[in-house]
Structure 1
Amino acid sequence: MTKIEAIIFDLGGVLIDWNPEYVFLDAFNGDREKMQWFLNNICTMNWNENQDAGYPLVKATNDLVKQFPEYENYIKMYYGNWEQMLGGAIEGSVKILKHLIDNRAYKVVALTNWSSETFPIAKKQFDFLKWFEGIVVSGEEKTRKPYKEIFNITLNRFKIKPETSIFIDDNLKNIQTANSLNINTIHFKNPKQLASELKNYNIYL
C-alpha cells in the first residue's frame, strides 16, 4: 500500500454540524412537513450551493424573493439567521483531527464548500480551523465540489499527490469525483467509522 502523506478534510458534516433545520423548524412552529417542503422547493440545497461557488448572498436572496414574494420573510432568514444553523463541532472528528495534526506525519488541509461571506463567522467560532496547513474555500475559488477543478486547485496548492492522499467527506458525489482523480477516500458517516477506516491506511489513533 502507498504510504499516505496528506489528509484532506471536508468541514460541514464532518467536523462542523451545520443544518438549516436549526433555524427553520422554529420558523415553521415545529411543523417538520412544512419546513421540509420549503427547504426542498424554495431555499434548496442547489440554491445554497450556488452561493458556495461565490454568488453574492444579498443578490441570491433578492433573486429568490422576486421569484417567491410570499416567502420573503422566510427567505431572508436563510442568510440573516445563518449563524444559528451552526450546531457546533463534531467532537469525535475534532479529536481525530487533533491526533493527526499532533502526529506531524501528515500534511493536513481542508476543502470545503462554503460561502466566502459566511466562512469568517465559522473561523471565529471554531478554533480548530486554525490547525490546518491551509483551507480551500469554494466561495473564494468561485467553484465548488463536486467539480474536478476545486480538487485540482487543492492538490496543486499544497503540492499533494492524489495517490498518497486521503479525502474525507460526507457527500457521496464529492467522494466519487475524488476517486476519479485517483485520490483515496473515506465516505464519512461518523467519527467511530472514520477512525476504523483510517486503519485501512495504516493510520492508527
Structure 2
Amino acid sequence: MINTIIFDLGAVLIDWNPHYLYKKLFTEEIQMLHFLQNICTPAWNEEQDGGRPLQEATDLLVNQYPEHAQNIRHFYGRWEEMLGGAIEGTVDIFKELKEKDTYRFYALTNWSAETFPIARQRFEFLSWFDGIVVSGTEKNRKPFASFYQLLLDRYAIKPQHALFIDDNLRNIQAAEQLGIQTVHFLSPVQLRETLTEKGIL
C-alpha cells in the first residue's frame, strides 16, 4: 500500500532546459548543441548538482576553453533563463493527490544548492511538499543509493510503501534496487494513466 509519493523535480514538475538560454546566444543550432555536448556538458553540470561550487565549476571550464569563456559564464550567470516554467499537467496531478489528504509528499532532486532558491521563489507548489532533499545541499545525488537512503531515513519512509516518479531511467532503476516502487515519467498524460491504474489517483 502506497502512503508516500516522491517526485523528481526537473522535467517532471519543472521545465528546465539549457536550450532556452543558448538558443539566444548561438545563431546556429549545431554550434549550440556542440557547446552543450562538449563543453558545458550534462556530466559537468551533475558535479554542481553534487555540491561543487558554481564559481569553481565555471573557472574550471574557462581555463580549459578560454575561447568560450563568455558562454561558459552565462551558464550560471543567466541560469534563470533556462527555466521554462511549471509542467502544468504534472502540477495538476500533484494538486489532486494533495487534496486527497492520503499521502505524504517528498521531492528528491539533483539540483545545485546555489540555484535551487531561485526555483523555490518562483514555484509556489514547492511549498506543498512535506520535505525536499536537494543533492547540492547534501553533496550527494541520484543515482547513488546513499542519496535515496538519506531521504528514507530522514523522513522514516518505508521503501515498500513509497512510489518514486522520475524521468531518468537510471534514477528509476536505482530506486527499484532499494525496493521503492516507481513510475518512469514520460508525460503528464502517461503519469495520470499510470496512477489511475494503480488506484492512487
Instruction: Report the TM-score range of the alignment, normalised by the length of the smaller protein.
Output: over 0.9
User: Which of 25, 28, 32 is residue 27 of structure 1 equivalent to?
Assistant: 25
Distance 2:76 2:105 in 1: 30
Aligned residues: 201
* 2:38 equivalent to 1:44: no
Percentage of identical aligned residues: 54
- 3-state SS, counterpart of residue 38 of structure 1: helix
| RMSD over aligned Cα atoms | 0.7
Is the contact between residue 100 and residue 108 of structure 1 (CA under 8 Å) also seen in structure 2?
A: no
Q: 5+ residue gaps in structure 1?
A: none
Matched, 1:53 2:40: no
Give the equivalent residue in structure 1 for 2:101: 104
Q: Please report how far the alpha carbon of residue 92 of structure 1 lies from its aligned counterpart in structure 2 after TM superposition.
A: 0.4
1:32-181 matches, within 5 Å, as 32-181=29-178
Aligned equivalent of 2:193: 196
Counterpart of 1:17 in structure 2 is 15
Normalising by structure 2, report the TM-score: 0.99
Question: TM-score under structure 1 normalisation?
Answer: 0.97
1:183 paired residue number:
180
Which stretch of structure 1 is more off in the superposition, 36-45 or 100-109? Answer: 100-109
How far residue 199 of structure 1 moved from its aligned partner, in angstroms, is: 2.2
SS in 1 for 2:85: strand
- Conserved? CA contact 1:7–1:107, under 8 Å: yes
Tell me the amino acid that sits aligned with residue 15 of structure 2: D
* Structure 2 stretches lacking a partner, 5+ long: none
Q: Distance in 2 between matches of 1:118 and 1:83?
A: 8
Structure 1's consecutive aligned runs of 4 or more residues displaced over 3 angstroms after TM superposition are: none
Mapped to 2, the partners of 1:158 and 1:66 lie a distance apart of: 42
Write out per-residue CA displacement over residues 17-53 of structure 1, whole angstroms, 9 at most, x where no aligned residue.
Answer: 0000001111002x11111110000000000000001
Q: Deviations over 1:120-159 (max 9, x none)?
A: 0000000000000010000010010011111000111111
Cα distance in 1 between the residues matched to 2:116 and 2:41: 19
8 Å CA contact 1:15, 1:90 repeated in 2: yes
